[in-house]
A and B are shown apart, each in its own frame.
Chain A
Amino acid sequence: MNQRPHLVIEHRELLARATPRPDAAAKLAATPFPSDRQHPQALHGAILGSPHPHARILAIDTGAARALPGVHAVLTAADVPGQGSYGLRHIDRPVLCADKVRCVGDPVAIVAADTPAQAQAALAAIRVDYEVLATVDDPVCALAEDAAPVHAGGNLLHAMTHDRGDLAAAEAACAHVVEAEYRSPRQMHAYLETEGGIVEHDGNGGLIVCFGCQNPERDRQVLAAILGLHPDTVRVVGTPIGGSYGGKDELTIQPLAALLALHTGRPVRLHLSRSESVDLGVKRHPMQIRLRTGCDAAGRLRFMVADILADTGAYATHGPEVLDAAVEHVSGPYQYDAVSLRGRLAYTNNGIAGAFRGFGAVQVQFALERQMDVLAARAGLDPLAFRALNLAAPDAPGPLGQQVLPFDGPARALDVLRTHPLWTAPRSHTDGRYHYGTGLALVHRSDGFGKGGPNTARIVLGLAADGKIELRTGFTEMGQNLVGAIHALAASALGCAEDDVRPVIGDTAHTPDSGPTAASRATAVLHRAMQQASTDWKQRITVAGARLLGVAADSLVPAAGGLRDHHGTLCISYPALAAALAPAARPLLTLVIAAEETPSDVPAAHYVFGASAAIARVRVDAWTGQTRVEHIALLAALGPVVSAQGFLGQMEGGALMGQGMATIEDLPTHSGRYQARNLDAYFIPTLADAPAMEIIAVENLPDDDPVGPRGAGEISVNVTAPAIANAIAAATGFAVRSLPVKPDDILDYLENTP
Chain B
Amino acid sequence: MSTVRFKLNTQAVSVSCAPDRRLLDILREDFGLIAAKPGCGVGRCGACMVWIDDLPANACLVMAFRLEGRSVRTYEDVAADAASAPVRDAIARCGALQCGYCTPGLAMTLTHLHQQTPRPDREQAASLLSGNLCRCTGYGGIQRSIEQLFPATPPLSADNSGDSQ
Contact = CB atoms under 8 A, between A and B. Distances in A.
Contacts of A21: 92, 95, 97
Given A18-B95, A28-B79, A481-B98, A686 B133 contact: yes
A172 B18 CA distance: 76
A373 to B, nearest CB: 24
Interface of B: 25, 28-29, 32, 34-35, 37-45, 47, 75-76, 79, 88, 91-93, 95, 97-104, 107, 126-127, 129-144
A654 B140 CA distance: 11
Given A192-B45, A648-B140, A687-B142, A30 B76 contact: yes
A478 B137 contact: no
A679 B133 contact: yes
A679 B34 contact: no
Interface string A486-530: 000000000000000000000000000000000000000000000
B137 A652 contact: yes
Nearest to B35: A30
12 contacts: A28-B103, A36-B28, A116-B25, A192-B39, A193-B99, A194-B38, A243-B135, A651-B138, A653-B138, A678-B41, A679-B40, A684-B135
Contact of B99 (A478, A654, A680): A478
A430 interface: no
A428 B44 CA distance: 35
Interface of A: 15, 18, 20-21, 23-25, 27-30, 32-33, 36, 38, 116, 189-194, 240-245, 271, 273-274, 478-481, 645, 648-649, 651-657, 678-680, 684-688, 690, 693, 695
A667 to B, nearest CB: 15
Contact of A653 (B25, B35, B98, B131): B98
A239 B164 CA distance: 54
A194 to B, nearest CB: 7
A242 B101 contact: yes
Contact of B75 (A30, A32, A645): A30
A271 B44 CA distance: 19
A194 B45 CA distance: 12
B142 to A, nearest CB: 6
Contact of A274 (B39, B91, B92, B138): B39
Contacts of A190: 135
Contacts of A655: 138
A693 B138 contact: yes
A656 B45 CA distance: 16
Given A192-B45, A274-B40, A653-B98, A30 B133 contact: no
B143 to A, nearest CB: 7
B101 A28 contact: no
Would you call the interface of chain A mostly helix, strand, loop, or mixed?
Answer: loop
Contacts of B44: 678-680
B138 A652 contact: yes
Contact of B136 (A33, A36, A38, A479): A479
Nearest to A648: B95
Given A24-B97, A653-B136, A274 B104 contact: no
A30 B137 CA distance: 18
Given A29-B79, A38-B32, A192-B47, A652 B141 contact: yes
A563 B107 CA distance: 42
Closest 8 CB pairs of A and B: A242-B101, A479-B99, A27-B100, A479-B98, A652-B140, A656-B138, A652-B138, A30-B35
A503 to B, nearest CB: 16
Given A20-B93, A28-B107, A38-B32, A680 B42 contact: yes
B138 A28 contact: no
A192 B47 CA distance: 8
B98 A480 contact: yes
B97 A27 contact: yes
A488 to B, nearest CB: 15
A746 B43 CA distance: 31
A441 B135 CA distance: 23
A679 B139 contact: no
Would you call the interface of chain B mostly helix, strand, loop, or mixed?
Answer: loop
A60 B75 CA distance: 45
B30 to A, nearest CB: 11
A44 to B, nearest CB: 9
A25 B92 contact: yes
Contact of A241 (B95, B99, B127, B140): B99
Nearest to B137: A653
Contacts of B98: 243, 479-481, 649, 653
A657 B92 contact: no
Contacts of A678: 40-42, 44
Contacts of A679: 39-40, 42, 44-45, 133
Given A242-B37, A479-B100, A679-B39, A192 B79 contact: no
A657 B138 contact: yes
Nearest to B33: A30
Contact of A686 (B32, B35, B97, B130): B130
A189 B142 CA distance: 20
Contacts of B129: 687
Contacts of A244: 99
Interface core residue of B39, B44, B99, B126 (most chain A CB under 10 Å): B99
A28 B90 CA distance: 11
B138 A690 contact: yes
A674 to B, nearest CB: 15
A649 B107 CA distance: 18
A274 B43 CA distance: 12
A191 B130 contact: no
A649 B28 CA distance: 30
Contacts of A191: 99, 101, 135
A273 to B, nearest CB: 6
A24 B96 CA distance: 10
Contacts of B34: 30, 32, 36, 38
A502 B93 CA distance: 21
Contacts of B42: 274, 678-680
Interface core residue of A21, A38, A192, A654 (most chain B CB under 10 Å): A192
Given A273-B38, A649-B138, A687-B130, 13 more contacts: A28-B91, A28-B100, A28-B103, A29-B79, A190-B135, A191-B101, A243-B98, A274-B38, A480-B98, A653-B137, A679-B40, A680-B40, A693-B140
Contact of B92 (A24, A116, A194): A24
Contacts of B133: 192, 679, 684, 686
A172 B39 CA distance: 56
Contacts of A690: 138-140, 143
A652 B144 CA distance: 12
Nearest to A196: B38
A720 B134 CA distance: 18
A687 B139 contact: yes
A212 to B, nearest CB: 9
A276 to B, nearest CB: 11
A36 B27 CA distance: 12
Contacts of B104: 30
Nearest to B75: A30
Nearest to B25: A116
B98 to A, nearest CB: 3
Interface core residue of B40, B104, B135, B144 (most chain A CB under 10 Å): B135
B15 to A, nearest CB: 14
A690 B126 CA distance: 10
A245 B135 CA distance: 9
Contacts of B130: 686-688
B141 A649 contact: yes
A23 B99 CA distance: 10
A141 to B, nearest CB: 33
Contact of A28 (B37, B92, B137): B92
A191 B99 CA distance: 9
A693 B95 CA distance: 14
Given A36-B34, A274-B40, A686-B133, A243 B138 contact: no
A240 B38 CA distance: 16
Contacts of B103: 27-28, 30
A564 to B, nearest CB: 31
